[in-house]
Each structure stands twice: as structure tokens, then as C-alpha cells.
């Protein structure tokens, strides 16, 4: 069974990579928070649209990662590479399709969802450039899936650090007009993010070429498109694709509801969301570790170790998150001041910080067990559990946010309910369902 040291050796590079990747989100929010509330709100809406589409690719890569981890655990190393190669071709085709559809449909969708003309116009300026990132981000996630699947996660830290550094420098230069560049504002934030994603792919290509044994992992098998392999991957990935998309779509609904509360409330929600995403980094890192270690363990014949692995990771997750939550809850104004220097905005955001802190404690455990279900290969069951939970999530948002127009903090309380329902559902499934015999 994996001990704490082994779990952490896989988790901490993922943690650091997610931390570096989220520098992009923090940077954009912090910089645009000093440009204006319209730009801050528009970046939130545009980013959520982008992420909703991106999660389709991320879901595919997660399913691919589960299969690659299973093959790695079975020591069928030559079967790892074809999943990576075929998946990359598939996602590049999907990137082209979704890029074209976004150019065609995004204006109508955003016009329907966003009530403010100023925020709509700024959102479209952002999106018209940001969606070029599909071509790089979709390939990026397949490299990430490969290295997590074979438990070589340290490269993720270096890659994410390079991407974050490039984004920070370019965002500073393009948003504010430094280093000889003209001041671009929100358009500069989008362009900087796309270039950072392109640099990430270039780094992965060079690193893989120089350090990975192509023959061992079957990475030379790229001359023909294997339809049967793609169908096998999609039999797992299609459910994670739908799961991640629905999860982000409901998060998008949350912001649509908040946008109708007013420009200030949307700015509050965006700042708090940025902090929330950063606080979730250790949870997401350990959840990803759960996913791959569970799949590796089952591939190596250790089905009886699965529950012990999840319990041990959940304990680590809770202790880490508890220390973070304690710090944020004691100094909320200091944390908020990173994103904005407007006193009124900081004051109105504090109550929401307390709410997401409670949600984080529940999420630290629920995400681990929920990702453990996907790690067993039972992605269909994970999707069904997600759908049931999101049904209550959406109902709450429409009732509290749209109908009653409650304050942002009350709207954020759905995160506590969401993770509580996810935790209860995951426990019931892992105790009662027959997940041990799933074949990939």
C-alpha cells in the first residue's frame, strides 16, 4: 500500500504545478481589478465560458489518464503511448471544431446571458482572443495526463512555472502597456494567457523528446489513427467529459445569476472565486493523486488497498486545508487586498470568504473520495452522482440567486451543500456498489 511519503511524492509536483498555473488566474484578476470593475467582471464571464469548453478536453484527458495509469500499473508500458498519441490527435480536431463553434455562437450566448452592455462588450473582446488557447491547452492536458499516469509528476511543476512566469510578464506588459507595448487592458490579458499556454506545449514537446523512452512507452505509434483505441478511451472519457462540463456549466450559471445582482456583486464574486480556486489547489492535487494511485493499484492487483489509499489521502487533504482555511479566515482583508485596493469591495467580500472557507473543509474530503470512484474506472457512476448533486446546485442558484436575489455570500453557501452531498453520495457508492471488478 502507498505510504504518506509516496503519496506526497506524487502529489506535491501536481500541487506546485496547479499553484503555478493558477498564477495566471490570480494575475489576471489582480491586474484587471486595478483596471476597472467592468474588466474584472468581463474577465470572469469570459474565463468561465473558456473553462466550460476547456473542461471537455480536460475530461477526455482524465479518462485517458485513468487508462494510462492502469496500463502503467499492469506494466504494459507500450500500451501507454498510443493512448497519449491518439488522444492528442483527437483533441486537436476537437479544438478546431470548438474554436469555430465558439466564434459562431459565443456572441449570441453571451448576449443572452449578460445583461450589462459594458460587460458584454468587454467579455467579447476577451473571448475573441482567448479561444485561440484551445489549440494549445487541449494538447497540454494530454501531456499532463501522460506524466500523471506514469507517476512522473515532477515535470509538471517546471512546466507550470515556465507558463506562469511568461504569463505574469506578458500580462503586466500588455494589460498596462509596459516594456514598449501599447496598453491593451482586457485584450492583453487574453493574449498573454494564450502565449503562456503555447509555451507550455513547446516545453512539454522538448522535454518529452529529450527524456522519455519512446520505445518503452510506445510513443512512436502515431502513423495511423486507431479508431478502436479511441472508442475504448471514449468509453471511459465520455463520462468524465460530460461530468466536468456540467460541473463548470453550473458554475457559469452561478455567475450569470450574480451578474444580474449588479456590477459590484459580480466583481465581489470574481475576486472570491479567484481566492477559492487557489485554496482548492491542494485538494485538486491530492484528488488527482487519488485518481492515478487508485488506478495504478488496481492495475497491480491491489483492489483491497483502494479504500485505505483514499482514507490516507483524505486525512492529508483535510489537515492541509484546515491550516489554509485558518489563515484565510483570520486575515481575510489581507488576502483580498492582493486582488483589489478598493476598500468597499474588500469589505463586501469578507462574508463570502468565510462561507467558502467552510466549503473548503468539506471539499478536502469529498473530492478525494469522489475522484477515487473515477480512479476505479467507474466514470459512468461518477457522472450520475455529479448530475444528481448538480441538480440540487442549479435549483438552489435559481431559487436563491435569481428569484430571491440574495447577497453573494448566501449564493456561495451552495458550495457547502454541493460538497456535502458529493461526500455522502461517494461514501454510499463506495460502501454499497460493486466497483471492484471494473475492467479497462
pLDDT tens-digit series, residues 228-238: 888 888 988 89
- Residue 438 placed within a domain: no
pLDDT tens, 105-142?
999 999 988 888 999 999 999 999 999 999 999 999 99
Q: Residue 396: helix, strand or coil by DSSP?
A: helix
In angstroms, the CA 298 to CA 243 distance is 23
138, 92 in Cβ contact below 8 A?
yes
Per-residue pLDDT, 222: 60
- Residue 437 placed within a domain: no
55, 314 in Cβ contact below 8 A?
no
Per-residue pLDDT, 431: 92
Residue 153's pLDDT band, with cuts at 50, 70 and 90, is confident
| Sign of the dihedral defined by the CA atoms of residues 263, 265, 267, 269, in that order | negative
**In which domain, by residue range, is 205 found?**
4-432
349, 305 in Cβ contact below 8 A?
no
Q: Residue 262: helix, strand or coil by DSSP?
A: coil
Angle at 387 between CA 424 and CA 298, to 5 degrees: 65
- Residue 372 placed within a domain: yes
Largest CA distance in the chain: 63
- Asked whether residue 17 carries a pLDDT value surpassing 80, the answer given is no
- Residue 144 placed within a domain: yes
Task: Give the count of beta carbons closer than 10 Å to the beta carbon of residue 36.
Answer: 16
Q: What DSSP letter does each residue of 195-207 carry, written as one string?
A: HHHHHHHHHHHHH
Sequence-ordered list of residues with C-beta below 8 angstroms from that of 393, at least 6 positions apart, any chain: 250, 414, 417, 418
Nearest by Cα to 92 from 138, 145, 56: 138
Structural domain count of the chain: 1
Per-residue pLDDT, 260: 85
| Sign of the dihedral defined by the CA atoms of residues 67, 70, 72, 75, in that order | negative
In angstroms, the CA 76 to CA 427 distance is 31
Q: What DSSP letter does each residue of 166-221 carry, written as one string?
A: HHHHHHHHHHHT-TT----THHHHHHHHHHHHHHHHHHHHHHHHHHS-TTTTTTT-
Task: Give the count of beta carbons closer than 10 Å to the beta carbon of residue 2.
Answer: 20
Quote the pTM value: 0.84
Per-residue pLDDT, 177: 93
pLDDT tens, 262-276?
888 988 998 898 899
In angstroms, the CA 205 to CA 136 distance is 12
Q: What are phi and psi of 302, to 5 degrees?
A: -105, 50
Q: Once rounded to an integer, what is the mean pLDDT over residues 189-209?
A: 95
Angle at 235 between CA 433 and CA 146, to 5 degrees: 100
Sequence-ordered list of residues with C-beta below 8 angstroms from that of 395, at least 6 positions apart, any chain: none
Upper half-sphere CA count for residue 434 (Cβ side, 13 Å): 2
- Residue 439 placed within a domain: no
Q: How many whole angstroms from its chain centre is CA 312?
A: 23
Q: Residue 114: helix, strand or coil by DSSP?
A: coil
Backbone region of residue 129 per phi and psi (left: phi > 0; alpha: psi in -120 to 50; beta: other values): alpha
For the chain, what's the residue count? 440
In angstroms, the CA 86 to CA 101 distance is 23
Q: What are phi and psi of 253, to 5 degrees?
A: -60, -40
Higher pLDDT, 228 or 184: 184
In angstroms, the CA 328 to CA 350 distance is 10
In angstroms, the CA 289 to CA 309 distance is 10
Q: Residue 413: helix, strand or coil by DSSP?
A: coil
pLDDT tens, 292-339?
899 888 888 888 899 999 999 999 999 999 999 999 999 999 999 988
Nearest by Cα to 364 from 433, 316, 302: 316
Higher pLDDT, 13 or 147: 147
Burial of 107 (0-12, 13-18, 19+ CB in 10 A): middle
- Residue 400 placed within a domain: yes
Upper half-sphere CA count for residue 212 (Cβ side, 13 Å): 24
- Residue 306 placed within a domain: yes
Higher pLDDT, 27 or 378: 378
Per-residue pLDDT, 142: 95
Q: How many whole angstroms from its chain centre is CA 115?
A: 27
Sequence-ordered list of residues with C-beta below 8 angstroms from that of 76, at least 6 positions apart, any chain: none
Amino acid at each position: 500500500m502507498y505510504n504518506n511519503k509516496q503519496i506526497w511524492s506524487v502529489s506535491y509536483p501536481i500541487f506546485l504545478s496547479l499553484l503555478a498555473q493558477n498564477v495566471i488566474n490570480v494575475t489576471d484578476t489582480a491586474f484587471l481589478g486595478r483596471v476597472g470593475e467592468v474588466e474584472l467582471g468581463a474577465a470572469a464571464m469570459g474565463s468561465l465560458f473558456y473553462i466550460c469548453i476547456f473542461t471537455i478536453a480536460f475530461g477526455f484527458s482524465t479518462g485517458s489518464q485513468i487508462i494510462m495509469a492502469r496500463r502503467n500499473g499492469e506494466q504494459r508500458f507500450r500500451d501507454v503511448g498510443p493512448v497519449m498519441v491518439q488522444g492528442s490527435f483527437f483533441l486537436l480536431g476537437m479544438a478546431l471544431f470548438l474554436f469555430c463553434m465558439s466564434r459562431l455562437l459565443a456572441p449570441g450566448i453571451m448576449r443572452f446571458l449578460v445583461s450589462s452592455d459594458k460587460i458584454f462588450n468587454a467579455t467579447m473582446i476577451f473571448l475573441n482572443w482567448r479561444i485561440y488557447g484551445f489549440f494549445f491547452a487541449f494538447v497540454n492536458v494530454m501531456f499532463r495526463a501522460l506524466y500523471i499516469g506514469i507517476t512522473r509528476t515532477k515535470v509538471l511543476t517546471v512546466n507550470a512555472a515556465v507558463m506562469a512566469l511568461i504569463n505574469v510578464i506578458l500580462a503586466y506588459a500588455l494589460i498596462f502597456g509596459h516594456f514598449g507595448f501599447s496598453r491593451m487592458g482586457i485584450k492583453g490579458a487574453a493574449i498573454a494567457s494564450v502565449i503562456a499556454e503555447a509555451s507550455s506545449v513547446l516545453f512539454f514537446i522538448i522535454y518529452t523528446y529529450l527524456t522519455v523512452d519512446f520505445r518503452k512507452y510506445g510513443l512512436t505509434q502515431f502513423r495511423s489513427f486507431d479508431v478502436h483505441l479511441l472508442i475504448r478511451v471514449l468509453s471511459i472519457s465520455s463520462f468524465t467529459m460530460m461530468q466536468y462540463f456540467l460541473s463548470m456549466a453550473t458554475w457559469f450559471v452561478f455567475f450569470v445569476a450574480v451578474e444580474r445582482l449588479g456590477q459590484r456583486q459580480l466583481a465581489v464574486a470574481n475576486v472570491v472565486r479567484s481566492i477559492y480556486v487557489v485554496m482548492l489547489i491542494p485538494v485538486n492535487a491530492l484528488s488527482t493523486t487519488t485518481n492515478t494511485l487508485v488506478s495504478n493499484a488496481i492495475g497491480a492487483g491491489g483492489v483491497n488497498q483502494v479504500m485505505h489509499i483514499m482514507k490516507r489521502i483524505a486525512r492529508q487533504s483535510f489537515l492541509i486545508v484546515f491550516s489554509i482555511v485558518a489563515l484565510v479566515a483570520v486575515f481575510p482583508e489581507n488576502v483580498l487586498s492582493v486582488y483589489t485596493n478598493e476598500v468597499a469591495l474588500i469589505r463586501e467580500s469578507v462574508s463570502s470568504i468565510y462561507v467558502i472557507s467552510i466549503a473548503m473543509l468539506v471539499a478536502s474530503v469529498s473530492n478525494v473520495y469522489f475522484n477515487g470512484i473515477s480512479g476505479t474506472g467507474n466514470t459512468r457512476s461518477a457522472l450520475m452522482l455529479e448530475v444528481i448533486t448538480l441538480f440540487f446546485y442549479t435549483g438552489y442558484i435559481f431559487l436563491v440567486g435569481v428569484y430571491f436575489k440574495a447577497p453573494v455570500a448566501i449564493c456561495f453557501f451552495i458550495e457547502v451543500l454541493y460538497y456535502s452531498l458529493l461526500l455522502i453520495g461517494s461514501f454510499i457508492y463506495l460502501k454499497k456498489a460493486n466497483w471492484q471488478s471494473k475492467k479497462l
